[in-house]
Amino acid sequence: MTLRVLCVFLLSGWLSVSAAALPIPENGPALRIQGSNTIGADLGPALVEGLLRQQGLLKIHRETPDTANEQRIVGQTAQGQRVIIEVAAHGSSTGFAALKNASADLAASSREIKDSELLALQTLGDLKSPAAEQVIAIDGLAIILNPANPLEQLNTEQLARIFAGEVKTWEELGGRGGAIHLYARDDQSGTYDTFKELVLSRRGKSLSSAAKRFESSEQLSDAVSADPQGIGFIGLPYVRQAKAVAIADGASQAMLPLNSLIATEDYPLSRRLFFYLPPDSRNPWAQALATFAQSLQGQAIVATSGFVSQTVQAMSVTPNALMPEGYQSLSRHAQRLTVNFRFAEGSASLDNKARQDLARVLDYIKRNGKTERAVTLVGFGDLKDDPARADLLSKLRAMAVRRELVRNGVVMREVRGFGALMPVATNSADEGRIKNRRVEVWVY
């Protein structure tokens, strides 16, 4: 290391382990992460451990302070210096509050940043820019019951009425067991925010005051497992001993929270998990962790932590009579990749996750020798007022993805648009329409 570089680190309060390693602060934690309990309970710490291993640190372990839902992940340099990364998991909203008061370097969130939070944090830079808003994993909200409950599926309208306290007994749903007992995450939770947005608010409902509230995902799941009359909602890794039911939304088929349906975000209660990294951040550990989370090693940790990774794979789709004939033919002869490209309202512009996924899809295509007329893109729209407009936009969205792939040396087999056919969510709400505006990738 040159004297000039060493002086830069010393002046900024950092010491360097080696020329290739991240700098270590002389005092205090190297990185402070605040936010989602869904991420912070295990996924965040596991990604931190992976980064510390990548940095060559030794004796990596977790320490639990006296405060619930907080951890320190600790490693040691070859010279014996401790490297500490703090993770506080008190809910997604607390992450954005911590960025504002400078008590965290990175926010972990199980929901997209709200407009009010974006405005409050604008002095930190644009937190909706591709570099700042990073999708690290896909999760599905599982609706869980006691294993002895015979009910197999529900729709989102029924869920809203159940959790609003309007449906009071299992017999009203065709089941048995008497009074329904509600279990929900607390108000700080991104899991609760997501459920409220996808299920309750969309239908003008509020959570019943009778619901038992939990800060811990694990405790909620275990409580439902022990209660024959219980129902709750939880992140996918926390189903544990409970029973997950299939969910339908609008005209969609009922779907279980299966990895393939969550990876494509077709499952009605799928959601994205985020790291939010302020663009003006001067903490190199924050950027390093975000980069590591997107890597193959990071996504492998996502999968082993029980979430759904963004690593692209091919899957077979069984044709059925509800599919258009052209789609049935595609299903018989090709495989679908576990990624959907999605778009903003009335737009053919890729969102931030779609930009990240382009690189992953290109890597898959090239590694598997699919660059010459082996890829078909299939676009879909949402039915608002004009079916012809939905048909046109479905093709334009597929062409937007085609343009990026062709630019990187892929010769397409075909580009198709199916308009507003085959919705995966209701078209009566913005969140559902966003899910329906998608481009699928198929390979031969």
Q: Which residues, 6+ apart, have CB-to-CB distance to 136 below 8 Å?
A: 39, 43, 47, 273, 274, 275, 290, 293, 294, 298, 302
* Residue 363 pLDDT exceeds 50: yes
**Single-letter amino acid, residue 133:** E
* Residue 10 pLDDT exceeds 50: no
* Cα dist from 343 to 137, 233, 396, whole Å: 18, 27, 11
Q: How confident is the model at residue 252 (pLDDT cuts 50, 70, 90)?
A: confident
* Residue 14 pLDDT exceeds 50: no
* Residue 155 pLDDT exceeds 80: yes
**Helix axis angle, 296-304 relative to 44-54, nearest 10°?**
140
Predicted pLDDT at 15? 44
Measure CA 170 to chain center. Answer: 31
pLDDT per residue over 215-251, tens digit each?
Answer: 999 999 999 999 999 999 999 889 999 999 999 998 7
pLDDT above 70 coverage of the chain, percent: 91
* Residue 134 pLDDT exceeds 50: yes
For residues 84 and 77, give the distance between their C-alpha atoms in angstroms, rounded to a whole number: 11
* Residue 17 pLDDT exceeds 60: no
pLDDT per residue over 274-284, tens digit each?
Answer: 999 999 888 99
For residues 45 and 299, give the distance between their C-alpha atoms in angstroms, rounded to a whole number: 14
* Residue 433 pLDDT exceeds 90: no
Residue with tokens 């950092």: 14
* Residue 112 pLDDT exceeds 90: yes
Predicted pLDDT at 4? 35
Predicted pLDDT at 239? 94
Predicted pLDDT at 432? 52
Dihedral, CA of residue 161, residue 164, residue 168 and residue 171, to nearest 10: 30
Least confident of 16-25, 182-191, 249-258: 16-25
DSSP SS3 for 299: helix
- Mean pLDDT calculated for residue range 413-426: 82
The pTM (predicted TM-score) of the whole model is 0.81
Q: How confident is the model at residue 23 (pLDDT cuts 50, 70, 90)?
A: very high
* Cα dist from 180 to 149, 173, 240, 416, whole Å: 11, 10, 21, 46
Q: How confident is the model at residue 190 (pLDDT cuts 50, 70, 90)?
A: confident
On average, the pLDDT of the chain sits at 89
Between 423 and 269, the more confident residue is 269
Predicted pLDDT at 152? 95
Contact assessment for residue 104 and residue 98, using Cβ atoms and an 8 Å cutoff: yes
Predicted pLDDT at 7? 37
And the tokens for 365?
A: 């295509």
Predicted pLDDT at 1? 35
Q: How confident is the model at residue 16 (pLDDT cuts 50, 70, 90)?
A: very low
Q: How confident is the model at residue 345 (pLDDT cuts 50, 70, 90)?
A: low
Between 2 and 35, the more confident residue is 35
pLDDT per residue over 39-56, tens digit each?
Answer: 999 999 999 999 999 999
- Would you put residue 91 in left (φ > 0), alpha (ψ -120 to 50) or beta? left
Q: How confident is the model at residue 394 (pLDDT cuts 50, 70, 90)?
A: confident
Predicted pLDDT at 73? 98
**Single-letter amino acid, residue 60:** I
Q: Which of 247-261, 322-336, 427-441 has the highest mean pLDDT?
A: 322-336
Q: Can you point out the beta strands (E) in 68-164?
A: 70-76, 82-89, 106-109, 133-145, 153-155
Predicted pLDDT at 344? 66
> Does the CA dihedral 157-341-137-36 come out positive or negative?
negative
Least confident of 189-198, 415-424, 425-434: 425-434
Between 363 and 348, the more confident residue is 363
Predicted pLDDT at 425? 59
* Residue 8 pLDDT exceeds 60: no
* Residue 324 pLDDT exceeds 70: yes
The full set of domains in the chain, from first to last, is: 3-134+272-304 (3.40.190.10), 139-263 (3.40.190.10), 312-443 (3.30.1330.60)
Predicted pLDDT at 9? 34
- Mean pLDDT calculated for residue range 254-276: 92
Predicted pLDDT at 45? 98
- Mean pLDDT calculated for residue range 102-131: 96
Contact assessment for residue 186 and residue 213, using Cβ atoms and an 8 Å cutoff: yes
